[in-house]
């Protein structure tokens, strides 16, 4: 199903006498709203004549939102609601209550792949039967992640790894697949890309035969749709469908499981100029109407506002009847989390510190704090920490030690710390998350003991689900940055930049060159934030960007770039490079050229980031058909980090323009970086030899490329080389070899689609039929070649069709017809600026090798025009 149709289908459808303790101020209204929301959601699901999972036009009643200013206690509220949910479930002996927590602000958390797998891992607590989702995921993974197993992806993030291993996620998914593909040998979780592709093929074939989950509407469409993020963002529907069918546990009657998904720091999504990530997450929420999503953030969500319809899919009051401004009763709805009342704030301070069961804070101190804090929980937390610090020094806190603005409280918090720890808190305020190693990198002169003491400070929160487990509240990080400017020993901007640079280097060293795709993306996101915020840069960021682009991970690179400052030239350049890649890969080459042209201004000629910009500028120009300008840029990249890529594309440019000797010599000297590069090198060598009619040597090159691709599990590369083999064998009329290569290629292309290769295969079949004396079949294949070409806008396809048509006319002794088509071919290739060698090749059939050489004197045939064109002339000589 085409992407637009898929979208439409889903839319229609410390030690002392003072005891310190954690306190949760009882926000009675919010807790009650959560309880009513669960009851209301289940009631609405039970009363529906048709499940909203199936009836996608029904309004949704599954979003509870708590919003308010930073430091108001939204995250604490969210955690408390989750704690109460699970505690009540344990007390009742219920095993059908599931909680899933995602902090949207964490690097990679809004990536749709990571989000879906965390949802699936959470739901795995209910059982191991999730067939619709698991089978569709297996089909997607085989094509979207060639050579990367699911287990490798799950292990890349500590949060993901812990969630997945807690339920045996890989084993659960493999079990679902094994019900359909008993011969599967770990294609999803484990062994080989070819096994994964075989799994996909088996699933797809059973879907087409109507023998697999035919009762799940749109399952077939999702299995067969393009394996991209757009398709994946509709997979929550399959999770919801499977959830509807979960059986009762331990012999109890079946009842509806309770599933709550807590999405914290939701304002991160709404703060982006590009709402793609929010659109994907909104689809997830909408398509899972049988799960309650509890969103916490600084802002209301505008999903019930029709004005958001140009950016989000499911908008308006009909879709979200409880999320509009007028609703102040029906749950779940949107709640403004207010400041604590004076009474609640006093209760908090009385309970936070006690001595012999009585409040440790004198009434006057509490009154002063309440007056200054105006009910902001984070203000109260910092004031409690300040009180404890004064006690620890042996003093008796007085009223004058408290009060003032939030920034003033943050200032006191810094002053309370020893000098070494003041520098550590300033370091922690520069970044979203940290661990001991990162802090030591920022402050390398400090001893480990100092770092260890700092990490036990109460204003740091710890979550071992993350590889960098310590964090400061976002509002506190901002306040510390402001407060530090008022302190005598406060850091200057230069100080901050120097520390940020050390942190950036540490991130690059931690990443290394063998990190997986997910880890690379997360570390790069942290690096980009440091770069945009503090004017620092490191070359590893350019390398990581290119690594992700080459791996196909271009949609989510640098998701927070739009919120960064203008930054230094290197930051602006890498931002442009990332945007350019995203535009080019989305088919908007002209826009990519506009973004990338001049984006390297202000950078030195040897700058790695400048080279990254130029490389992708050249790629965009090439995609747009401007081979000459692209080649000029590639030429300028020789001798740099990206020389291998530039040299390859220059060789391709030489090939397109008939400079065969130059291209061949360069390719034979080239050192490939990996198996994929080597395969491309072999295939281009084969192209040059083929158009010089050295068919045996071309066959050897393609055969070697096929064997390498099979060994490395590179299905897309194997399909290309098989198509090229057919394009070579066809000139001898060897229909068996052509047919066999074409069948193998088509089978792979069904798994890893590439319509250009289908054009090449059909044109090869046209030539093979002509050479074997079946003109009718040849004419039909020529027509198919042109139709396929027009369907995808591949200009080179008509050149191949012209060549086959001329061959047919020559074999039929219709030289006038052949010359007319040759004229069209000549005009076509001159306009495109490439493939002009085909004109002398076909001329050798009508006018002989000597005449053919005269019509294209610039072509540098591998062993001279007489020999190369003589071989081509012999192709049509009767045997």
In a domain, 870, yes or no: no
Maximum pairwise Cα distance, the chain: 110
Of the residues 313, 336, 359, which one is the last residue of a structural domain?
336
Write out the two tokens for 427: 């370091």
**Of 663, 668, 665, whose CA–CA distance to 650 is shortest?**
663
Stretch 56-68: mean pLDDT, rounded?
92
In a domain, 66, yes or no: yes
Q: Is the pLDDT of residue 505 over 50?
A: yes
Provide the residue range defining the domain that includes 382: 342-499
Whole-number pLDDT of residue 208: 86
pLDDT in tens, 519-544: 788 788 889 989 988 999 999 999 99
In a domain, 274, yes or no: yes
Contact present, 66 and 295 (Cβ < 8 Å): yes
Contact present, 872 and 695 (Cβ < 8 Å): no
Do 326 and 349 fall into the same domain?
no
* Residues of the chain above pLDDT 70, percent: 91
Whole-number pLDDT of residue 104: 85
pLDDT in tens, 780-824: 999 999 999 888 767 778 999 999 999 999 999 999 999 999 999
Of the residues 336, 366, 399, which one is the last residue of a structural domain?
336
pLDDT in tens, 449-486: 999 998 988 778 887 777 788 888 777 888 888 888 77
Write out the two tokens for 99: 């909680």
Do 450 and 516 fall into the same domain?
no
pLDDT in tens, 353-408: 888 888 889 999 999 888 887 777 778 888 888 888 888 777 788 888 888 777 87
Do 61 and 144 fall into the same domain?
yes
Stretch 182-186: mean pLDDT, rounded?
56
Do 203 and 352 fall into the same domain?
no
Give 697's Cβ-side CA count (13 Å radius).
13
Of the residues 442, 473, 499, which one is the last residue of a structural domain?
499
C-alpha 21: how far from chain center: 41
Q: Is the pLDDT of residue 742 over 70?
A: yes
Would you place residue 141 in the very low, low, confident or very high pLDDT band (cuts 50, 70, 90)?
Answer: confident
Do 510 and 478 fall into the same domain?
no
Instruction: Report pTM.
Output: 0.72
Whole-number pLDDT of residue 16: 44
Do 394 and 433 fall into the same domain?
yes
Stretch 121-140: mean pLDDT, rounded?
93
Which residues are CB-contacts of 707 (< 8 A; sequence separation ≥ 6)? none
Range list of H helices, 643-754? 643-656, 660-669, 675-691, 695-712, 715-729, 735-749
The CA angle 304-310-313, to the nearest 5 degrees, is: 60
Count of structural domains, the chain:
3
Q: Is the pLDDT of residue 247 over 90?
A: no
Contact present, 372 and 404 (Cβ < 8 Å): yes
Distance CA 834, CA 653 (A): 8
In a domain, 23, yes or no: no
Do 493 and 515 fall into the same domain?
no
Of 238-247, 264-273, 823-832, the least confident: 264-273
Do 393 and 444 fall into the same domain?
yes
Of 368-382, 675-689, 759-773, the least confident: 368-382
Contact present, 764 and 738 (Cβ < 8 Å): yes
Whole-number pLDDT of residue 871: 95
Contact present, 647 and 667 (Cβ < 8 Å): no
Stretch 415-439: mean pLDDT, rounded?
90
Distance CA 141, CA 149 (A): 8
In a domain, 794, yes or no: no
Do 98 and 137 fall into the same domain?
yes
Distance CA 120, CA 107 (A): 19
In a domain, 688, yes or no: no
Which of 247-261, 469-483, 658-672: highest mean pLDDT?
A: 658-672
Write out the two tokens for 229: 């993020």
pLDDT in tens, 566-589: 579 999 999 999 888 888 766 677
Do 429 and 505 fall into the same domain?
no
Do 360 and 418 fall into the same domain?
yes
What does pLDDT average to over the chain? 86
Using a 10 angstrom Cβ sphere, with 0-12 exposed, 13-18 middle and 19 or more buried, the burial of residue 354 is: middle
Whole-number pLDDT of residue 793: 67
Would you place residue 14 in the very low, low, confident or very high pLDDT band (cuts 50, 70, 90)?
Answer: very low
Do 280 and 153 fall into the same domain?
yes
* Rounded alpha-carbon distances, angstroms, from residue 456 to 419, 460, 462: 16, 7, 9
In a domain, 672, yes or no: no
* Rounded alpha-carbon distances, angstroms, from residue 758 to 201, 383, 652: 18, 69, 21
Whole-number pLDDT of residue 623: 72
Distance CA 836, CA 658 (A): 7
DSSP bridge pairs for 263: 102, 295
Based on its alpha-carbon atoms, the radius of gyration of the chain, rounded to whole angstroms, reads 32
In a domain, 590, yes or no: yes
**Of 70, 66, 67, 77, whose CA–CA distance to 23 is shortest?**
77
Stretch 54-82: mean pLDDT, rounded?
88
Which residues are CB-contacts of 227 (< 8 A; sequence separation ≥ 6)? 139, 140, 142, 143, 144
Of 310-314, 634-638, 682-686, 738-742, the least confident: 310-314
Distance CA 355, CA 445 (A): 39
């Amino acid at each position: 199903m085409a992407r637009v149709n898929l979208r439409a289908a889903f839319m229609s459808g410390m030690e002392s006498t003072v005891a310190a303790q954690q306190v949760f101020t009882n926000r009675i209204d919010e807790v009650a709203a959560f309880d009513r929301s669960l009851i209301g959601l289940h009631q609405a699901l039970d009363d529906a004549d048709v499940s909203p999972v199936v009836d996608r036009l029904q309004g949704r009643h599954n979003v509870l939102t708590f919003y308010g200013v930073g430091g108001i206690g939204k995250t604490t509220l969210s955690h408390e609601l989750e704690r109460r949910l699970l505690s009540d479930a344990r007390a009742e002996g219920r095993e059908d209550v599931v909680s899933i927590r995602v902090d949207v602000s964490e690097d990679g958390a809004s990536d749709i792949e990571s989000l879906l797998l965390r949802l699936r891992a959470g739901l795995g607590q209910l059982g191991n039967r999730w067939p619709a989702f698991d089978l569709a995921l297996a089909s997607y993974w085989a094509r979207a992640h060639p050579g990367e197993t699911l287990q490798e992806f799950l292990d890349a993030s500590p949060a993901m790894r812990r969630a997945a291993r807690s339920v045996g996620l890989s084993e659960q998914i493999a079990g679902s697949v094994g019900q359909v593909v008993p011969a599967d040998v770990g294609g999803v979780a484990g062994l080989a890309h070819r096994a994964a592709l075989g799994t996909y093929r088996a699933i797809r074939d059973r879907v087409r035969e109507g023998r697999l989950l035919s009762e799940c509407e749109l399952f077939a469409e999702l299995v067969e749709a393009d394996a991209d993020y757009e398709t994946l963002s509709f997979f929550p529907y399959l999770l919801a469908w499977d959830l509807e069918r979960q059986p009762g546990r331990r012999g109890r009657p079946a009842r509806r499981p309770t599933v709550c998904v807590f999405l914290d720091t939701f304002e991160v999504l709404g703060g982006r100029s590009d709402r793609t990530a929010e659109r994907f997450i909104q689809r997830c929420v909408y398509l899972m109407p049988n799960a309650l999503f509890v969103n916490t953030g600084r802002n209301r969500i505008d999903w019930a506002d029709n004005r958001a319809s140009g950016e989000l899919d499911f908008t308006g009051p009909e879709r979200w009847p409880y999320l509009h401004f007028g609703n102040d009763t029906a749950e779940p709805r949107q709640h403004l989390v207010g400041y604590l009342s004076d009474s609640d704030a006093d209760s908090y301070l009385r309970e936070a510190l006690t001595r012999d069961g009585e409040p440790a804070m004198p009434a006057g101190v509490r009154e002063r704090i309440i007056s200054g804090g105006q009910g902001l929980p984070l203000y109260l937390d910092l004031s409690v920490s300040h009180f404890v610090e004064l006690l620890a020094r042996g003093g008796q806190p007085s009223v004058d030690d408290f009060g003032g603005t939030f920034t003033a409280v943050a200032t006191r918090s810094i002053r309370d710390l020893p000098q070494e720890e003041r520098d550590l808190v300033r370091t922690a305020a520069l970044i979203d998350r940290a661990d001991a190693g990162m802090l030591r990198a920022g402050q390398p002169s400090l001893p480990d003991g100092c770092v260890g003491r700092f990490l036990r400070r109460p204003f740091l929160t710890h979550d071992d689900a993350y590889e960098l487990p310590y964090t400061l509240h976002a509002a506190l990080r901002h306040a510390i940055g402001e407060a530090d400017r008022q302190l005598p020993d406060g850091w200057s901007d230069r100080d901050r930049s120097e520390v940020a640079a050390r942190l950036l280097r540490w991130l690059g060293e931690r990443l290394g060159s063998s990190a997986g795709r997910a880890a690379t993306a997360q570390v790069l996101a942290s690096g980009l934030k440091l770069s945009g915020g503090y004017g620092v840069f490191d070359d590893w960021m350019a390398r990581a960007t290119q690594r992700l682009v080459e791996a196909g991970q271009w949609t989510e690179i640098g998701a927070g770039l739009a919120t960064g400052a203008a930054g230094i030239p290197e930051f602006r350049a890498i931002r442009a490079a990332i945007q350019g890649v995203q535009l080019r890969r989305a088919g908007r080459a002209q826009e990519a050229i506009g973004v990338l042209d001049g984006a390297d201004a202000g950078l030195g000629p040897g700058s790695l980031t400048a080279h990254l910009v130029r490389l992708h500028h050249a790629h965009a120009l090439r995609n747009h058909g401007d081979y000459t300008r692209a080649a000029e840029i590639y030429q300028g990249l020789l001798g740099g980090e990206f020389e291998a890529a530039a040299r390859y594309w220059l060789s391709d440019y030489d090939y397109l323009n008939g400079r065969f000797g130059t291209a061949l010599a360069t390719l034979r000297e080239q050192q490939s970086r990996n198996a994929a590069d080597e395969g491309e090198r072999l295939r281009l060598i084969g192209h040059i030899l083929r158009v010089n009619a050295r068919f045996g040597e071309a066959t050897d090159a393609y055969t070697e490329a096929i064997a390498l691709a099979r060994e490395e599990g590179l299905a897309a590369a194997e399909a290309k080389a098989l198509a090229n083999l057919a394009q070579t064998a066809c000139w001898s009329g060897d229909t068996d070899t052509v047919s066999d290569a074409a069948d193998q290629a088509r089978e792979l292309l069904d798994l890893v689609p590439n319509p250009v290769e289908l054009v090449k295969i059909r044109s090869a079949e046209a030539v093979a039929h002509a050479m074997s004396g079946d003109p009718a079949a040849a004419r039909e294949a020529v027509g198919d070649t042109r139709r396929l070409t027009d369907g995808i806008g591949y200009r080179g396809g008509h050149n191949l069709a012209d060549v086959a048509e001329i061959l047919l006319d020559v074999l039929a002794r219709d030289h006038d017809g052949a010359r007319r088509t040759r004229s069209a071919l000549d005009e076509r290739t001159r306009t495109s600026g490439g493939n002009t060698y085909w004109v002398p090749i076909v001329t050798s059939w009508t006018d002989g090798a000597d005449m053919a050489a005269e019509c294209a004197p610039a072509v540098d045939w591998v062993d001279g025009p007489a020999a190369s064109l003589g071989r081509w002339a012999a192709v049509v000589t009767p045997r």
